[in-house]
Structure 1
Amino acid sequence: MKKELYLIGEISKITGLSNKTLRYYDENSILKPDYVDPNNGYRYYSEYQILKLQNIITLKDNGFSLEEIKKRFDDAESRDMNGFFDIYKKKIEDIDIEIENLKNSKKRLQNLLDEFSYLEVDKIILKCLPEKFLYNLDIITNKDLNNSIFDIYKIIEASVECGSAHLGKQFKLLNSKGCSSEKISEFLLFKNENYLKNIEKIKKNEYITIRYRYGNREEALKKILDYISLNKINVEPVIYEIDIINSFLSRNKNEYITEIQIPIKTVIFDEERKMKNGKFIGIGKGYGGDISIEIEIVENTIKNIEILSHNETKIISDPAFVQIPKSILEANSILIPNVSGCSMSSRGIREAVKNALIEAGENFDKLEIQMLEAENLVKIGDGASKKIIKPIENFDVVIVGAGGAGLSAAISAASKGAKVVLLEKMSSIGGNTLISMGGINIPGNDAQIE
């Protein structure tokens, strides 16, 4: 028998296809024997059949049906495969279109997730919300809308499900120091003007906000009111509670997310107010305790900032002590962002400068609002603002975090011959090990056993 002919078992080893699959192809004339031994009936196949099988595998992986493949191979005119590959190219074009559609779907879903912002639950955030339109559901009658109540709620459900409106409640704030509030109405909140009558316009404003899950209202309300009281924020005596995810979007009550929005009173600041010239000391609270600074004011301008003392962790907090004073001097304002990775140190420096400015005669309310607004600015050194400056590389092991554990893992992997990359968001290595005061977690230690 010629060496260029192969038995079905040999072809199975070469192509990775099972004997059962190859026999199925044979029975259906997809794999045709080039020679059948008349003595024993053994079937032999040429290298062309192996090439044909490899093409079949590739085409099946790219979405072609076995029927399409067989039809093309049965066509004598398509032996050169030109017609077949025209279809192949068309399928690739179709896949590209499908990929683009999936990308767009992914983008829409990401925007939806960003709107829901699950991670912001229980976190107090200052937001500047655009003009909104409120429709009071308590006044729905057939006379007002010339529709049945059932039809109106179908309109409401459709509006909420498509994201053009949110259900909500309005409360009167009776006491900013406690959780005392009185319900005023239920409403439908639109981003844009709608055809419904009796629309109430809510002007663009700054709000103190917090989101809570189903059943955690009292806790969230107390938290936000305590925050307002502690920071002496002047707010309007009204609370809006907006359903971000509600009964029309989820059947599970534990998934409901509601946002409490309390508008800050609009304050008109005296821009002509003059601060005293001279040097003033301020103290703020950092990660390690008090941060003491001294500022110099000349003709309503911050001319110099000197750090007098602090107990922040070196290396970790160093970027804040470099960037925050520099940014404040450039902006002549404390309305500047935190430094990524050392937010508490950044906040402490900014608070110290704020208190020094108050000593110099600056408006207290103005500075308090700037402190809140600063928390919503994109952090200095945030990864989103950086560009990739290296070409794409491939690694055997990718380690995220250059603390004690990450460094140990990198050394261990590299010592075994792996190509390793170690990624760290901070400007220095050390991670939690650097700020743990020398403590190291060891399995089975006394504290862990206890």
Structure 2
Amino acid sequence: MSLNTIDLRSAALSRAELSRVIPRAQMDVSVASAAAIQLINDVREHGEQALLDQAERLDGVLPARVRIHADEITRATRALEPSVREALELAIDRVRTASKAQVPPPMMTQLGDGAEIVQRWQPVNRVGLYVPGGKAVYPSSVIMNVVPAQIAGVSSVALASPPQRSFGGAVHPTILGAAGLLGVDEVYAMGGAGAIGAFAYGVQELGLDPVDIITGPGNVYVAAAKRAVRGVVGIDSEAGPTEILIIADGSADPRLVAADLLSQAEHDELAAAVLVTDSEELADAVRTHLAEQLAATPHSQRASVALDGQQSAIVLVSDMAAAAALSNAYGPEHLEIQTEESGAVLDMIDNAGAIFLGDQSPVSLGDYLAGSNHVLPTGGQSRFSSGLGAYTFLRPQQVIRYSHDALRALEPHIVALSTAEDLPAHGSAVSKRFTDR
């Protein structure tokens, strides 16, 4: 392992300059766009057969069927290992509790007698939730996608996960078991861009109706497909490889910092693990512990590639203000703050998908049982978007209700503006309410 070191202690860089020097995985979604669009169009034209062909070609297995029978889901739920079931049920309960706080109440604004606007939050009708199935199995992602949709009041939930060679082309049974715990009975063995296309446009012979929003992480082809169908449906974000950025000072425990960096590096060869510190001593100690822990972890080869990549580094800065500035420029998916004055550092943070404060709040907690959602923006998208939540599935709507007298009071002003904009029928639509036929 040769984790890069970037020394910025003598530099005073602008936001733009920081953006150019921060370590980042090279993931250009556009390079996969043509292939993703072709797969989507194939599903639009050939439906279920296209999904079967894509599974055989891309997943290496031909599913017996694309739509999973309800009794298969029931069997998988009953067969869950007791400790896994208990952990999943606990996660469901905690994510439900946290998601309920994300649903705003209706609000009424009174602008005068008989003049009111009600802001309400309406759920979309139907969602398609994607659960990846590559190097790992993610029943936790079933929970993170399904629970906030249910809390928002979504009435129709469909779930897709790639067919697994180890299970004869079926969806992984632990994924099915998690879906069963949540009462989801519409599950499809389909993956990649084809699954996104199926959700966006529907597949008639499967009884798969188009959805309104597609959420969930995936590989570069899933991200490219979500970009391609945006506008036909809503999406959460174009999720890329996982990221962790840790801001730590000399008070941090290097053993724990190393463990947290490694926890994300084991996801994928493109995973990003970044430590930002003003302590050279901590940096050296973390490097030592990381090498020791890497040698002992089961996925050492995968994690080693991630840690050696250009997306991972130890960044030395002059102080915590500089550390916060770099983090804000990066906009990490997961941000840990392990400093003596963690609250002061938090006050300087603007951009992050989720923030883990203190050395007893590791990212792994958020991955499973914190109650927060682990579907988060990557690649700097936290600058303008948020993690998945109940609000993802809600649309604010304004309901306007005026009385006759309240509208009459505004009639001359509306006429004045409609005349200024040369849209006289706008003004007439109001004035006719106060004239005889």
TM-score by length of 2: 0.23
Q: Give the greater-gyration-radius structure (CA).
A: 1
The higher-RCO structure (CA 8 Å, 6+ apart) is 2
Higher strand share: 1
TM-score by length of 1: 0.22
